Structure 1
Amino acid sequence: MIKMNTSKNELEIIKKYEAVGYINSYRVSGNLLINNKTKSKYLPNEVFIVAEHRFEGMSNPSDMSMLFILETKYKGKGTFLASYGGASSTEAAEFFNEIPKENVSNKENIFMK
């Protein structure tokens, strides 16, 4: 279940996850998730979404972003911030759609603990 966050911005939420060990940031290129610091690469089946947070744009509710809290097959932990709407990345959306359903949970959602 995706919980809509209306009182917090993305940076505040990212900092909360960093405080509990989700310190890596990732980007998508081609069909790979890439750790921005180590350059390690992961296929969709090597990525686990352990929480998701959706944000609406302040001035335009159709400008949305989604914060994915991720763990990798090799125990990397971090975040990926995806924009939706006019500035969205088809590449990122396609990658996240390829993550197996069994790799998606909300078990690390800091607002549900």
Structure 2
Amino acid sequence: MENSDEMTTLSQVMAKMSKRGVSREFRMNENGEMKFENSEKNYQPEDLTIIKSYRFEGDSNPDDNAVLYVVKDTGGNMGMIIDSYGADSNYPGEKFDEFLREIPIHESDEFNF
């Protein structure tokens, strides 16, 4: 059993993900298109599945809140979507939030640390 203190920050979870081969990100560009890092494919919510999510809250500043989603595409590619939440989001406007809400969620024990 691993020490739960090892997984308390976003960077610690990202390091653990990287060791498991999940190091690339899905990101929404300024045109509202969701892309996989180093790819030109434009994803729709139904092309992705959220298999795990991790939430982080800043101890001293509510603006330090973030969420990391482990995501799998229909081709089997694994990646992350990272978003700060609260007053400042990584993605301004409602398009990202709407896109995220439409992604199916199928939690997997594979990424329980």
SS in 2 for 1:38: coil
Aligned to 1:18, the other structure's residue is in SS state helix
Distance 1:6 1:92, change over 3 A: farther
Tell me which residue corresponds to 2:54. 53
Please say if residues 49 and 69 of structure 1, whose CA atoms lie closer than 8 Å, have aligned partners that are also in contact: yes
| Structure with greater proportional helix content | 2
Equivalence for 1:14? 14
> Over aligned residue pairs, what C-alpha RMSD do you find?
2.2
Question: Quick check: 1:48–1:70 contact (8 Å CA) kept in 2?
Answer: yes
Q: Which runs of 5+ in 1 are unaligned?
A: none
Percent of pairs with identical residues: 25
Unaligned runs of 5+ in 2: none
The secondary structure found in structure 1 opposite 2:40 is coil
TM-score, normalised with respect to structure 1: 0.78
Structure-1 residue corresponding to 2:111: 109
Quote the Cα distance in structure 2 between the aligned partners of 1:105 and 1:61.
28
Question: CA shift at 1:58, angstroms?
Answer: 3.1
TM-score normalised according to structure 2 size: 0.78
Equivalence map 1:1-113=2 (5 Å):
8-29=8-29, 30-61=31-62, 63-88=64-89, 89=91, 90-99=94-103, 103-107=104-108, 108-111=110-113
Displaced runs of 4 or more, over 4 A: none
Stretch deviating more after TM superposition (6-15 or 51-60): 6-15
Larger Rg: 2
